[in-house]
Structure 1
Amino acid sequence: MQNMTQEMKQYEVHRIEKDTLEITGEGTNNLWNQAMILTDFSSPWDTNLPSKMEFKALWDGVNLFFCFTIFETLIRIDKKDDSIQSIGNSDRVELFFRPDNSLNPYYCLEIDTAARIMDFVAYPNKNFDFEWNWPQGHLEVKSSIQDQSYSIEGSISISSLKMLNILQDNKIETGIFRAKYNEIEKSIFEPNYISWVDPNTEKPNFHISSSFGVFHLLDNLSV
Structure 2
Amino acid sequence: MAKELKNYEVHLVEENLLEITGKGDNTLWKNAQVLTDFCSPWDSEKPSKIEFKAVWDRENLFFCFTVSDTMIHIDRKDDSIHSIGSSDRVELFFRSNHAMNPYYCLEIDTASRIMDFVAYPNKKFDFDWNWPQNNMAVKSSIDDSSFTIEGVISILSLKMLHLINDNKIETGLFRAKYNEKEKSIFEPVWISWVNPETETPNFHTPSSFGVLHLIE
TM-score (norm 2): 0.99
Alignment-derived partner of residue 42 in structure 2:
45
Distance 2:116 2:89 in 1: 12
Distance 1:162 1:7 in 2: 23
- 1:1-223 equivalences under 5 Å are 7-219=4-216
| Matched residue type, 2:204 | H
Matched residue SS, 1:152: strand
Number of residues of Structure 1 aligned to a counterpart in Structure 2: 216
Matched residue SS, 1:111: strand
Runs of 4+, deviation exceeding 3 Å? none
TM-score (norm 1): 0.96
Distance 1:7 1:149 in 2: 32
Describe the superposition over 1:164-208 as per-residue Cα deviations: whole angstroms up to 9, x where unpaired.
000111000000000000001111100000000000000000000
Distance 1:24 1:102 in 2: 35
- Following superposition, the deviation at residue 6 of structure 1 comes to 5.7
Describe the superposition over 1:58-106 as per-residue Cα deviations: whole angstroms up to 9, x where unpaired.
0000000000000000000000000000000000000000000101000
Q: Identity of paired residues, percent? A: 69
Distance 2:202 2:184 in 1: 25
Segments of structure 1 that go 5 or more residues without pairing to the other structure are none
Matched residue SS, 1:193: strand
Superposition CA RMSD, Å? 1.0
Matched residue SS, 2:122: coil
Distance 2:77 2:183 in 1: 18
Segments of structure 2 that go 5 or more residues without pairing to the other structure are none
